[in-house]
Structure 1
Amino acid sequence: MERKDFLRGLGLAGLGALTIPVIKACSNDDSSDSSAADSTQATDTGGDSSTGTCSVTASETAGPFPTKTPTSLVTSNIVSDRTGVAFSINIYVKNTKASCAALEGAIVDIWHCDKDGYYSEYGGTSMQSADFTSVHFLRGRQTTDANGLVHFTSIFPGWYSGRATHIHVHVYNASGTSLLVTQIAFPEGSGSAVALVNASSANGYTKGLSGYTYNASDNVFSDGVANEMSAVTGSVADGFVLTHTINVAG
């Protein structure tokens, strides 16, 4: 059985919602002496905020680290005690049953790993040796507004063996019925945010991209990321902003 198929069988889950300004954490530089590398703008920004078609976004696995009790994590600031490059996440949800009009009132849970590739709520096992079972960082839930938008304040995700940089998303309707579990892919390349952030050791991203798994070889994204690719803009110094649209049959 392929790992992707195995992971699909591990189960689903989700998370939470509120909005605060983007912050920059764990930097040794102040705004007056940021390096040229820190101020470099991402040049490979991916797609725009629309999928371009009115079809449901690809379904993906929620495992192996889904949120255990997403209803308890209603917050838009999901940083907690994690440090890293500032990251703002804007997700639009559209309804394929209404010609891809904005879907108001949808519940959106997200979760992703920290700069070192670790997830909260799990650990102490062969899948993740570091034990974070008692904390809930980088997980949150929000409800879409009239524009179908939810916003989260976070830190730029790191990566771990076998996976490209990604964010997990679980979308429900207003009644709490699951509509879609999917993942968000990131643009890659020498000028991408993924490359710039992972070269930023001053912000704690110490692994670089040695051993990194790119989208084309990722066991979730290798079958294509046409409607899962986000747009990412910004710089290490100022933080990055991700914009993405998810289409569901609401």
Structure 2
Amino acid sequence: MDRKHFLKKGLFGLGSIIALPSVISSCSKDDNVDSSNNPGSDCTVSPTETKGPFPIQTPAQYVRASIIGDRTGIPLLMTLTIQDKSNGCTPLANVLVDVWQCDKDGLYSQYTTQTNANYLRGRQATDTNGQVSFISIFPGWYPGRAPHIHVEILTSGGTSLLVTQIAFPVSTYMSVYGTDGYNGTPDTSNTQDSIFSNSLNGNMADSITGNNTDGYTLFKTITVA
């Protein structure tokens, strides 16, 4: 499937998408991403990062592939592969993946002025390939932090295996933040960010492709111990 068509149709007609994981799998193949070139394929355990003050309060209520809610921004399709270092870095099936992020204005749902909102939060269980995919928007930024997405991996019973974060290449986020609706250059770069200061390579997205018109596709392999 053509990624441009998917992002545009997916974001503006989500009600018509039923077999979303299959659709996303097809999109991934079309993008011809070579996982052997991805930093995550070296079987190094992903960095452990703080949950921050904004974890999902009731994640079981937000099992969904589209986490956009009522937010606007440049489309982002992210596919995460979870692998198990203790088992030769084989794909880890049937674990829970929680993601949460701020909107284009740097706001998180469920907190401060957004306590009654639940946008940009979601949970899915990995398939037999250890993968989940979420339809989102490119996150904005807020003071003191470089752009990022939060991820937590849990067993099916809810035991946390890893809390980590995904970082973005500077060239990509600077391009996005130059568009209308985003807030321009962030006050903190990747290298200035205290969370990423000793772990940036492990946090960085394995690949991100696309543009500001059609949206972006992100791939990230996350390895748990």
TM-score (norm 1): 0.74
Contact (CA 8 Å) 1:216, 1:224: kept in 2 or not?
no
Which stretch of structure 1 is more off in the superposition, 232-241 or 170-179?
Answer: 170-179
Q: Tell me the matched-pair count.
A: 195
Structure with greater proportional helix content? 2
Contact (CA 8 Å) 1:90, 1:244: kept in 2 or not?
yes
Aligned residue for 1:72, secondary structure, equals helix
Cα distance in 1, alignment partners of residues 40 and 132 from structure 2: 17
For 2:210, the equivalent position in structure 1 comes to 234
Cα shift readout 1:125-165 (whole Å, capped 9, x = no counterpart): xxxxxx10001000000011111110000111000100001
TM alignment of 1:31-180, pairs within 5 A: 48-123=37-112, 131-180=113-162
Deviation at 1:50, TM superposition (A): 4.3
Gaps of 5+ in 2: 1-5, 13-35
Contact (CA 8 Å) 1:95, 1:248: kept in 2 or not?
yes
For 1:16, the equivalent position in structure 2 comes to none
Task: State the AA in 2 paired with 1:22.
Answer: L
Where relative contact order (Cα < 8 A, 6+ residues apart) is larger, the structure is 1
For 2:169, the equivalent position in structure 1 comes to 187
Cα distance in 1, alignment partners of residues 157 and 196 from structure 2: 30
Deviation at 1:51, TM superposition (A): 1.6
Which structure has the greater CA radius of gyration?
A: 1
TM-score (norm 2): 0.82
Sequence identity, in percent? 45
Deviation at 1:242, TM superposition (A): 0.9
Task: State the AA in 1 paired with 2:220.
Answer: H
Gaps of 5+ in 1: 1-20, 27-46, 124-130
Cα distance in 2, alignment partners of residues 102 and 52 from structure 1: 11
Cα shift readout 1:25-58 (whole Å, capped 9, x = no counterpart): 79xxxxxxxxxxxxxxxxxxxx954424223111
Cα distance in 1, alignment partners of residues 8 and 114 from structure 2: 23
Contact (CA 8 Å) 1:117, 1:159: kept in 2 or not?
yes
For 1:39, the equivalent position in structure 2 comes to none
For 1:37, the equivalent position in structure 2 comes to none
